[in-house]
Structure 1
């Protein structure tokens, strides 16, 4: 035997702190719960339990991975988003709480058909489908590996019959029209990549993080194709970087979309741009 869960937790926290991880205690608890096969919110109830050798080995490996700055979601293989668990791998972006603003804005008006460009884990598309049981949607991505994760998430959530995933460069081969187009595309400028946290820069797929250059190429492609794929009155909603609101809104307006608006996140930073087809 390898001591109790509490012993392992006490030993792990300083290791993570020494690696520069601010949320060392919280991350250690999540990793311990994963190693023990218990829900994270119930790990406190199991701290007095002895760890068997297999659990201890899983926890040690998880702590070592986190100390190397691998994101917790990649280590545990899942992330909660809008109250649902999504499978996460190194082939996908880790769903972030900020993206829930995009979902909330999309749910403010009705829709029956959705296109999610650069779907990744599928968290945006699948959340919208789960919240609107009559809707159907398509998710596109350049990455076949990411699409496999999205399809797995659709199956796990019982949404596969209403979700279609296809490998495509934005709108290539996609036929509309759609009531709603959503996207959290790569938007980090090339010059900003070096300043990202190691968890993002070193572990998440660069294809999903940056298009290179000024970071706006994805929005140029989306703006160019949105009008032909939106139903009359259909909405376009994209997540953006905190200094891109005005530029993206201008791209959408120049493409003939109407009422481009920039929505702030809870910290007051630009986070979502919305527009609609006349």
Structure 2
């Protein structure tokens, strides 16, 4: 079988199954199985496939058709132009979360130095990206899962920021001191009652700990905003990823804890995605 034949076979099956991005999924999975750059797939479509590589591509195809996301199949996901390894304890980083990173970077001078804290760091995608883009900062990366922290530490090493990356296994900020410049987080914010109705790519493959925001979907924000009000230095900032219908609640909580300069930023789809504020 030739490369082009295999790609079109996988692509057509993905199209027939109703996947949202069948052509892209097929390109990425076939390229990975054959160890061929995605950009070279078309140029090499007349080449014969080495023995065994087609079987790997077809195994990837089966996993994808059974609902496993591409990132889970490959064990990694692109985020902000970098690759991040995943494991069973980490959420697969989404493009919407890049809105949070953009918002923080726009408010942090590249020449500044300071300390940030990423609560619920997971794979470390947010924390590592911020460190890579702002070399004067150090990061305290907090997660309740040791397995997630191991993954995040590996990603920090992969992107050469491990010397400024400090993993802490804790429940929120229970063991941290005051004086932080930034608190950032993409906390669990999905209501418990709707978890079962989520797409199977999410509820069967993402860790529940990173999704379940309690009965209201807002429980994590109560804790994080209250803690940040104590831990941030005067002038320090907080940046939180939020659900599309949670902006009013977050603004109310931030005002209640004395924050000022409150902003809500929309993602590329036009949905409220990030809440930002400053400690006076």
Q: TM-score normalized by structure 1?
A: 0.95
Distance 2:232 2:201 in 1: 36
Aligned to 1:260: 262
Aligned to 1:30: 28
SS at match of 2:222: helix
Shift of 1:9: 1.6
Q: Is 1:20 aligned with 2:14?
A: no
Distance 1:91 1:54 in 2: 31
Deviation readout 1:84-142 (Å, 9 max, x if unpaired): 11112332111111111111110122352110000011111111111111111111111
Deviation readout 1:22-53 (Å, 9 max, x if unpaired): 21121011000110112222222222221123
Deviation readout 1:43-97 (Å, 9 max, x if unpaired): 2222222112321121111111101111101111222111111112332111111
* 1:105 aligns with one of 103, 107, 124: 103
Correspondence 1:191-210 to 2 at 5 A: 191-210=193-212
Aligned to 1:87: 85
SS at match of 2:261: strand
Correspondence 1:1-278 to 2 at 5 A: 3-110=1-108, 112-278=114-280
SS at match of 1:51: coil
Structure 1 residues 181-190 or 75-84, which shifts more?
A: 75-84
Distance 1:39 1:120 in 2: 28
* Aligned partners of 1:246 and 1:262 also within 8 Å: no
Distance 1:152 1:210 in 2: 25
Shift of 1:17: 3.0
Distance 2:147 2:47 in 1: 38
Distance 2:89 2:39 in 1: 27
* Aligned partners of 1:19 and 1:68 also within 8 Å: no
Gaps of 5+ in 2: none
Distance 1:29 1:196 in 2: 26
Distance 2:88 2:45 in 1: 30
Aligned residues: 276
CA RMSD, 1 decimal? 1.4
Change (3 A) 1:91 1:45: farther
Gaps of 5+ in 1: none
